[in-house]
Amino acid sequence: MNLDAIYILWLREIKRFIRSKSRIIGSLAFPTLILIIIGTGLNSVFTMGKLSYIEFIAPGMIGMVLLFSSISFGIMVIWDRQFGFLKEMLVAPISRTSIVVGKALGGVTTSMFQALLFLIVCFAIGIKIPSPLMLLLLFLVMILIAVGFVLVGIAFSSRMKDFHGFSLIMNFVVMPIFFLSGAFFPLDKLPEWLKWFVYIDPLTYGVDALRFCMVNTSSFPIWINLLALIVFGLVATIIGTLLFKTTQL
Amino acid sequence: MLPPVFSVSFPFNYLPFTNNAVISFRQFIKDMSNPVIDLLDLKKYFKEVKAVDGVSLSINQGEIFGLLGPNGAGKTTILNILCTLLKPTSGNAIICGHDINKDKDAVRRCIGIVFQDPSLDDQLTAYENLDLHGRLYHIPKDKRKQKMEELLELVELSDKKNVMVKTFSGGMKRRLEIARGLLHQPEVLFLDEPTLGLDPQTRRHIWEYIEKLNRDTKVTIILTTHYMDEADVLCNRVAIIDRGKISAIDTSTQLKKQIGGEVISIKTEDEFHPDQPWIKNVNKHDGCINLTVEEADQKLSLLMNIAQEKKINIDSVTIHKPTLEDVFLHFTGKTIREEEANWADAVRTRRRSRSR
């Protein structure tokens, strides 16, 4: 581990992120539209106990911002490969683990920044976090979700040579993870066959934990959610790092 | 009479002084012939394609060494192996005393590399790119700052240091990459096709930098190229690589000498058969008769006499020394362009299909 190298690789990501403002706005526009239009549109039809529908899906939208920004960040390693910068990192006398850590920290920071911007949108539509302790727990959950999915993205990009597979991953990995996560519907009345898919989706536990922190309802106890997220984060980190270590030009 | 400096040093222990001189002279000779890079039967196969097929060579401290060959001959693969990005199928290489198979980090620390394709982050400024590199190589802050200013000065980019790299021209990017490759003061600098795709003026500029670098910093430089003139101008020694093997290795002067003599090109529309024993080789090309002879300047008047006797109309005559192009033709039996057309395509398609 080389702290100097990790720091500078992290800083590089931050600089690149700040310099592409359209990326920030683009990533927030879609979830905001869903929240306001779908949320308001379906509000009259659905009531989730004491929650309005818009309150119900707001945590799901935070999960979506984290999922999309984290995975697409990880996949951006392909960009480094195509523009040659990956070679510059690979011939440097630093371990591949340092490169992964630097990259991942950069990805977590930038996704967190986007998710926090979206959290402000949520505050604007009237969501209130009950206590400062809940806010801290919320941050922890957000970080865990981001870590896991950034590493999933890095894992994919370690085995992809160009962008041809990108839409494949969006349609067959990212979208199912999002739709199965329970961002739009409650988990307790699902048919058996769907339940299984929902239960193996790591984002399910993320959204459930976010809902616990933001609107104080959840399907699972918080400790199960946290445990699931930690296991997911660890597994993704191990697999992502191993795959990146053996990445070829 | 000895100059005053000598008469001052003379009284101080005469013997050790000379001994030291002898030792340092020996050391100097040793350094000169001390290989910094040793390739031992290096092989790299991509499935059935033998990209590198048993290359052994030694490169000495302070040399500018050229790997010359058509695109796809295996030059870049050799470089990628030497800078630890690719694992060789078999064989080994020692760089600055470190084994590329066992001691990757040590090798990486003592080499600098400028890749064929740009490898800068174009969303960062020139200064930020250098700073990033300096930190990746763990150069202490003060030294890093000082070296960066120095190198930006050297490649004449000081006034552009805070400009985003994406606005740079090809030549500027290449210069910045050279500066970056030198930042951690490597003992060996690899340049992969350093002037590919650059205009003639920029090419000359880059050549000057490379020569200056080698002169001022004594860094050993290994460059690959498929430009004959580049190898000719820059390199102390040249290895001709063809289909993953070394066809010839020597100084470019020696290589040209092996062909022998000079080439007289006679442009004429008539049939001209001088048939003299001192003509070593004849070939016809584009309405020119090319004769390879020794001491062409003296033989020229003889030739003119023969032509006059046979009443042959000569449009023009030129004498040129053999170029590396002639050398390549001599050693591989093909011109470098013919070679590129066939072999490179095969290797490229294979490598692409592999990477899918």
Bridge-based pairing of strands B188-192 and B220-225 is parallel
CA distance to partner chain A, nearest, from residue B133 (Å): 8
Indicate whether B2 pLDDT > 50: no
Q: Write out the two tokens for A58.
A: 């707001």
Predicted confidence (pLDDT) at residue B353 exceeds the cutoff of 50 = no
pLDDT for A166 equals 78
The model carries a pTM of 0.79
Q: Where does the pLDDT of residue A229 fall: very low under 50, low under 70, confident under 90, or very high at 90 and above? A: very high
Report the share of chain B in percent with pLDDT over 70. Answer: 83
Of B111, B119, B136, the CB nearest to A94: B136
A23 to A27, A35, A39, B63, B320: CA distances (angstroms): 6, 19, 24, 48, 60
pLDDT recorded at residue B348:
53
Contact status, residue A182 vs residue A219, Cβ threshold 8 Å: yes
pLDDT in tens, A204-213: 999 999 999 9
Measure the CA–CA gap between A157 and A147, rounded to whole angstroms.
Answer: 15
**Mean per-residue pLDDT of chain B:** 80
Lowest mean pLDDT among A73-77, B13-17, B210-214, B256-260: B13-17
Cβ A161–B108 below 8 Å, yes or no? no
Q: Does the pLDDT value for residue B11 go beyond 50?
A: no
Q: B4 or B323: whose pLDDT is higher? A: B323
Q: Which residue has the higher pLDDT, B86 or B291?
A: B86
Per-residue pLDDT band for B10 (boundaries 50, 70, 90) equals very low
* 3-state secondary structure at position B354: helix
Q: How confident is the model at residue B231 (pLDDT cuts 50, 70, 90)?
A: confident
User: To which residue do tokens 């008047």 refer?
Assistant: B301
Res B16: pLDDT: 42
In this prediction, residues B180-196 reach a mean pLDDT of 89
CA distance B330 to B328: 5
At residue B13, the pLDDT reads 40
Whether residues B121 and A94 touch (CB distance < 8 A) is answered with no
pLDDT digit string, tens, across residues A123-166? 998 888 888 899 999 999 999 999 999 999 999 998 887 778 87
pLDDT at A113 over 70: yes
Higher confidence at residue A225 or residue A126?
A225
Question: For A31-90, how does the pLDDT look when each residue is reduced to its tens digit (9 = 90+)?
Answer: 999 888 988 888 888 777 778 888 889 999 999 999 999 998 888 888 888 888 999 998
What pLDDT, on a 0 to 100 scale, did the predictor assign at position B347? 54
Confidence of residue B349 (pLDDT cuts 50, 70, 90): low
Nearest to A84 among B80, B86, B117 (CB): B117
Name the closest residue on chain A to residue B166, using Cα atoms: A83
Q: Do B124 and A20 touch (CB under 8 A)?
A: no
Greater pLDDT, B205 or B176: B176
Which residues does A contribute to its contact with B (CB < 8 Å)? 2, 4-5, 7-9, 12, 15-16, 19-20, 83-94, 161, 248-249
pLDDT band of residue B1 (cuts 50, 70, 90) is very low
What is the tens place of the pLDDT at every residue in B84-123? 888 899 999 999 989 998 888 889 889 999 998 889 998 9
Q: How far is CA B68 from CA A37, A81, A198, B325, B327, in A?
A: 64, 27, 59, 11, 11
pLDDT above 50 for B12: no
Packing angle, helices A53-75 and A96-124, rounded to 10: 160
Is the CB of A92 less than 8 angstroms away from the CB of B120?
A: no
Count CA atoms closer than 13 A to A124's CA, side-chain side. 9
Give the Cα separation of A240 and B6 in Å (integer): 68
pLDDT, tens only, A140-151: 999 999 999 999
Judge whether B109 is closer than 8 Å to chain A, CB to CB: yes
Which residue does chain B place closest to A247, by CA atoms?
A: B85
Selected residue with higher pLDDT from B234 and B268:
B234
